[in-house]
Amino acid sequence: MARPKSDDKRSAIMAAAIRVIASQGLGAPTATIANEAGVSNGSLFTYFETKVDLLNHLYVELKAEMAAAALEGLPTGSDIRGQMFRMWNQWLRWATSCPEKRRALAQLAVSDDITPASRQAGSQTMAGVAKLLERSRENGPLRDAPLGFVVALMNAVADTTIDFMIQDPANADKHRTAAFDALWRMVA
């Protein structure tokens, strides 16, 4: 009879995968991830059929965590600018406080191993952010642009801002606010 799977072991594998991918890239062997998690390589494959399976699960979970952090405490009674500003601040706070997760997610996002189904699941976790962005651009200069294009612009501004916030923590709030103001003028 097979032993029941442990949520703690699965969590340890996922946390180890984040650390290893962030430091060594997607080419890191599963044995390194298993060792970092404190499990055997065979145990890793009890939880994930293949390395690609692990990468896809990790991608979806990181997207979901990022989306949840971005939308946490969203002031529903506030105007759209206030809601976007809150979402922006929460998103950047997550990214700067979880640099390994950010690096791992950035690598996963450009990986050919991430399946269309996982990309779709990741997009669905970001639906609340997309809806907020859609409302923000209703009357703006990008109202007719494809949503994917607008999201890519927002991601580029966010990535640059996060880098500056990390490199210059004394001015992190200034960078975050200035970038939001620029983003708002671009979108709304």
State the CATH number of the domain containing residue 81: 1.10.357.10
Q: How many domains does the chain have?
A: 2
What is the torsional sign of CA 157, 158, 164, 167?
A: negative
CB-based contact 150:142 (threshold 8 Å) = yes
**Model confidence pTM above 0.85:** yes
Name the pLDDT band for 121 (thresholds 50, 70, 90): very high
Q: Which whole number is the average pLDDT over 151-173?
A: 95
Domain co-membership, 74 together with 39 = no
Tell me, yes or no, whether 78 and 19 share the same domain.
Answer: no
* 38 and 109 together in one domain: no
Q: Answer yes or no: is pLDDT of 4 > 70.
A: no
Domain span at 14: 1-48
Q: Mean pLDDT, the chain, as a whole number?
A: 94
